[in-house]
Amino acid sequence: MGLKTDALDGAVGLPSYMAGHKVQTVVFALLLAFALAVILVPLALPAHTVDLGCCGVVGGGEHSDAISEMENPAVRFLYQAGDLNCHQIDDRSLFLNGNQMPFCSRCAAIFLGMPLGMLAFFVVRRSLNPLWLLLSFVPIGIDGLTQALTTYESSNAMRIITGGIAGLAAGYALAYLIAEIGTIKAARPLSPP
């Protein structure tokens, strides 16, 4: 069968596949909820109230004072997670409702790409080619390293593209690995008590 036929059959059978693969479905739901939260949090705040500035490093905690003043604990949690795991530099971030997102554009694209990559696996259900997986991380590596080692400044569009590709690949790989672990577990003979 061709990819198009597999994709059409997979899309039609998606609900039954997800119902029969609970671990994959739960991981997908958690990743999707996190990605949506990252997008919706700036919309939940009053307009034009969050701009974390032009300085930041991963794990630096530079924004902890501003974040600690956020009243909503869920909003505060996401911005704190961003402060620990992302630089949160405003020029490298997207703004929604006039508010900076809790993660930079590259991280946000990765987080959105992961559930979409899992969904792609649910539909296509093809084995994972390790070379394809490795090659899908090359664009983010080139863009990030070039920016870190030279005067080149990546655009948010490029960060979204490279992050999205990496997120899609990571999500697809995660769904594939969970499926493979399930297959191995199902094939393992039951141990005597």
pTM: 0.88
Residue 142 counted as domain residue: yes
Residue 193 belongs to some domain of the structure: no
Q: Which of 174, 115, 101, 110 is nearest to 144 (CA)?
A: 110
Domain of 94 in residue numbering reads as 3-183
Query: What is the spatial distance between Cα 66 and Cα 37, in angstroms, rounded to a whole number?
Result: 19
Among 144, 18, 152, smallest CA distance to 87 is for: 144
Residue 137 lies in a domain: yes
Instruction: Convert 132-150 to b/e letters by CB count within 10 Å (16 or more is b).
Output: eeeebeebbeebbeeeeee
Cα-only R_g, the chain: 19
On whether the CB atoms of residues 109 and 164 are closer than 8 A, the answer is yes
> Measured between alpha carbons, how far is residue 183 from residues 127, 157, 188 in Å?
13, 39, 9
Does 188 fall in a domain? Answer: no
Residue 190 placed within a domain:
no
**177 assigned to some structural domain:** yes
Evaluate whether residue 93 is within a structural domain. yes
Query: Which residues does 16 contact at the CB level (< 8 Å), separation at least 6?
Result: none
pLDDT in tens, the chain (193 residues): 566 666 676 677 788 888 888 999 999 999 999 999 999 999 999 999 999 988 888 878 788 888 989 999 999 999 999 999 988 989 999 999 999 999 999 999 999 999 999 999 999 988 989 999 999 999 999 998 998 899 999 999 999 999 999 999 999 999 999 999 988 887 877 666 5
* Number of domains the chain contains: 1
Q: Judge contact between 39 and 100, C-beta under 8 A.
A: no
The full length of the chain comes to 193
98 lies in some domain: yes
Q: Let me know: does 56 contact 88? Beta carbons within 8 Å.
A: yes
